[in-house]
Chain A
């Protein structure tokens, strides 16, 4: 690489700029804790129905079990995904994607870019699709998916979804071995300066200090509330699916927190995932119906 590699924030800004030029709405992160960028309503819900939609955004992803107290160079309980959704997927999506790699300074003449089969699915939101992991010199840098179903429903129009692992990509571009050594900006701030303490405290919280009984109660509250919200009559005259979906996301995060505490027995796991999926499906069906009517 001849040019100075992009800092972490410039990587985000470059992707924003690139996808903005492709007509995407550039959104800000969703303000509810989620385990993956896909769960943002801008992807999960907007993938339903027939209306075209193009969006890109950064989404913090919370994976409580992956916390390593800031000691592991590759694993974080909080990291960033860059998420792009194009609905319907354009014919040239692969070329657009490769263009984004060039934009962030990956020279395709120097590197080995490969599309390796990986059929993505997210059982908690009943979503599935066909696609690839994109490898750059053997490292997975992006999950590339053609959505076939969301919320357990087959989609009307297929969306193309790109999920870039930002830290991983930045580590590759900057050639650093430890995520905390990433250049965050061009003014001497490192990723560790911003996030190391957060990783420590949240790792300790996730594994030691969270209260399982509270989490369980809150999970059940959220679960109950999803259906209650959907069934509550209101002045709009139709179901409040967006607030209901927020509660599904909260339930999902509470499940992840309980999981990190080792509070979910192997046998219970499927049942919890099934409960979240059912709630998600109820929201997805309602959203699809509302979209149809709008």
Chain B
């Protein structure tokens, strides 16, 4: 058993690519080595600014003999095909094996020494390495993330020869660019490599650098009565920028503490890669920061601290400028004006139009989340304004946060400021759902606009491609619906979006629909609110938005509403449309399926049985909250003793109905109490007749568990009936009524789910 050590030494590798590169190195090398019949005890990659290394322990000195399987022609294929194949593999036909109708060649490759196969493996790994971006250098066509300088390639203490990209492998590496002499040095094995690197001011292990940064930064902070503000992403990045990380505590001019802490933190992080620091006595942000230098300076870091503080001051001075400009009176109006010139998506129009849609949606959604309608509409109107502010222009990730501050400064109602701040939430599985009703209304309106909008222009996610993060938006919508117990059908929400399309009517633009019965458009004057349209026309037009694709067309007329009722068989194609939205009915159906899939994933993640989810979904209820309640009830009853009865009763009923359905249509009449019927039949019929309104009432009241309990209670009567009578009676009336009885029973079950989906 022997050790392998590889180091690919290059110019500075981008920090954000390093950890993935280490994982890729392990995977690519592992896959190729395994295919070569190699095994090992441990395999680990290391990465830093200038090196990507691999340490493998316990490799054999010789590979296992490899049997290669080559697929040949099918049995009965033309002779030439077989002859060609045999030539290719160098065997005779009696050496082939017939497997599933295909001739297979098994070629035994004699074992080679590991040292012999390693160069091919590494060369292949290097040439296929999946860097997100790679480059050429000088006159060479070889690509690497940055110029590759050295290859250290040691197996069992010996250099393995490899030449690639003009570089020949050896046993040499280099230490820290400034702190070491810069001279190359030889290493013997992994332990020697790691130690010598350390002697030359390089810590090989990313994780060790991370914990070192944390420890030393916390130490420096603690001495000053402060604590580091955690930022794992930044920690990973900084550990990728340093070979010999040296955290230093710098001083920030306290005058900058007048800026919102988010601004200071974001500026430190994105521009300078500094950690923000909290004052332990106040819990607030301190006028300090932590730089992680890659240097132990001869003056103890005084110059480095001074220089960094100066750069930070310049950055935060910009921040102060933005902050004071952004807080000028009347800015919200000016920003909203600017959004007219910002394209949201070429086929959806401007950001200002998006705001108008969200506003219209918020008005419809507010009552559903029990939010004040005027506050929700106001918040929706202002929610995107900060996109035009200086600060968000500089730090896009502060969208919403800044709007919240500016709304507070403008003395807008607290709920409005909060909704502006929180309406992007939840931004991912670890983010929280907005708590306030107004916030929830705007958050829903925002996400529904994104989602329906992209569905309406047929930009749906496919496979792994979801460029507009629509799946995330859908999960966000589901979480808000559930947490705020919003009772709405999805189609109602999609319809609200289509109704909002009236906002596109404006100067030079009309909204045009073409239904089966009429076509017509809402024109510029409608948008001005100067309509004298009869209510029923407006109602028709609104309904029409849901019965046709919707077009935004140019117009040079000034009018409010123009409906033509004569049916035109060959309606002209709308070929001058500025924007086109697909038919509500198609989008709504796709939307329901999309949400069903998202909700199924969500419930499965919460540990609900797959078959229970499927049974609950079969009801095709597009109220997501009710669907969840139904599934949860089913889950809970199935886990209880009543569950067995429920499932048994259902299964017996369903089996008979399914068998009889094959013979002809099942009767649809209500079951009757037939005189002279066996006692067990009368008993079950009476119970079903009595229970039907009860169960229906319980289902209407969404007391699904209770409804299921009642149904489970029928098991005894069902068993007695099915054991005591022959459903398939020779007397037609008897057979019909018994089948009617069972059908009525199954309909009751179906109200809570399709139990046939249960495993």
Contacts and interface: CB of A to CB of B under 8 A. Distances in A.
Given A115-B12, A130-B146, A266-B342, A110 B138 contact: no
Interface string A109-149: 11111111101000000000110100011110000001010
Interface centre among B133, B293, B307, B312 (most CB of A within 10 A): B307
Interface string A276-293: 000000000000000000
Contacts of B137: 88-89, 146, 158
A8 B304 CA distance: 22
A117 B16 contact: yes
Contacts, number: 97
B295 interface: yes
Given A117-B16, A119-B133, A110 B297 contact: yes
B299 interface: yes
B159 to A, nearest CB: 21
A79 interface: no
A110 B299 contact: yes
Interface in B284-335: 291, 293-295, 297-299, 303-304, 306-308, 310-312, 314
A236 interface: no
A266 B12 contact: no
B308 A138 contact: yes
A115 to B, nearest CB: 4
Given A74-B314, A111-B304, A117 B138 contact: no
Contacts of B311: 137-139
Contact of B147 (A129, A137, A146, A148): A146
A110 B343 contact: no
B11 to A, nearest CB: 6
A89 B135 CA distance: 13
Contacts of A137: 303-304, 306-308, 311
A31 interface: no
B307 A146 contact: no
Given A157-B138, A177-B310, A115 B11 contact: yes
A233 to B, nearest CB: 36
A130 B341 contact: no
A265 interface: yes
A55 B307 CA distance: 31
A138 B307 contact: yes
Contacts of B307: 111-112, 136-139, 172
B12 A265 contact: no
Contacts of A110: 297-299, 303-304
B295 A138 contact: no
A186 interface: no
A98 B177 CA distance: 10
A94 interface: yes
Nearest to B343: A267
Interface in A18-59: none
Nearest to B314: A74
Given A89-B138, A158-B136, A109 B272 contact: no
Given A119-B133, A146-B135, A111 B310 contact: no
Contacts of A157: 138-139
A111 B179 CA distance: 11
Contacts of B274: 138
A108 B133 CA distance: 30
B437 interface: no
Contacts of A88: 137-139
Interface centre among A115, A129, A139 (most CB of B within 10 A): A115
A91 interface: yes
A208 B306 CA distance: 39
A111 B295 contact: yes
Contacts of B146: 130, 146
Interface string A64-95: 00000000001000000000000011110010
Contacts of A139: 307, 310-311
Contacts of B341: 265-267
B102 interface: no
A157 B311 CA distance: 36
Contacts of A108: 178
Given A89-B137, A138-B307, A138-B311, A114 B294 contact: yes
Nearest to A50: B139
B14 interface: yes
Contacts of B298: 109-110
B495 interface: no
A158 B11 CA distance: 16
Given A148-B136, A157-B139, A112 B295 contact: yes
A115 B49 CA distance: 9
Contact of A130 (B135, B273, B299): B135
B503 interface: no
B16 A109 contact: no
Interface in B124-151: 133-139, 145-147, 149
B241 interface: yes
Nearest to A1: B303
Contacts of A90: 138
B43 interface: no
A90 B139 CA distance: 10
B15 interface: yes
Interface string A143-166: 000101000000001100000000
A110 B15 CA distance: 24
A41 to B, nearest CB: 22
Contacts of A74: 314
Interface in B338-360: 341-343
A90 B147 CA distance: 10
B241 A112 contact: no
Nearest to A134: B12
Contacts of A113: 177-178, 295
A4 B308 CA distance: 22
A112 B246 CA distance: 10
Given A146-B135, A148-B136, A111 B297 contact: yes
B544 to A, nearest CB: 31
A117 B295 contact: no
Nearest to B305: A137
B208 to A, nearest CB: 20
Contact of A138 (B15, B133, B178, B272): B272
A112 B297 contact: yes
Contacts of A138: 272, 274, 291, 307-308, 311-312
Contacts of A119: 133
Nearest to A52: B139
B385 to A, nearest CB: 16
A60 B299 CA distance: 36
Contacts of B306: 137
A89 B11 CA distance: 13
A139 B309 CA distance: 10
Interface string A91-110: 10010001000000000111
A88 B241 CA distance: 27
A158 B138 contact: yes
A222 B87 CA distance: 67
Interface of B: 11-12, 14-16, 49, 133-139, 145-147, 149, 177-178, 241, 272-274, 291, 293-295, 297-299, 303-304, 306-308, 310-312, 314, 341-343
15 contacts: A89-B137, A91-B149, A94-B11, A110-B298, A111-B295, A111-B307, A112-B297, A113-B178, A113-B295, A114-B241, A115-B49, A117-B15, A130-B135, A148-B135, A266-B342
Minimum-distance CB pairs A-B, first 10: A137-B307, A117-B14, A88-B138, A115-B12, A138-B308, A112-B293, A130-B135, A112-B295, A138-B311, A139-B311
Given A89-B147, A137-B308, 4 more contacts: A138-B307, A139-B311, A148-B136, A158-B139
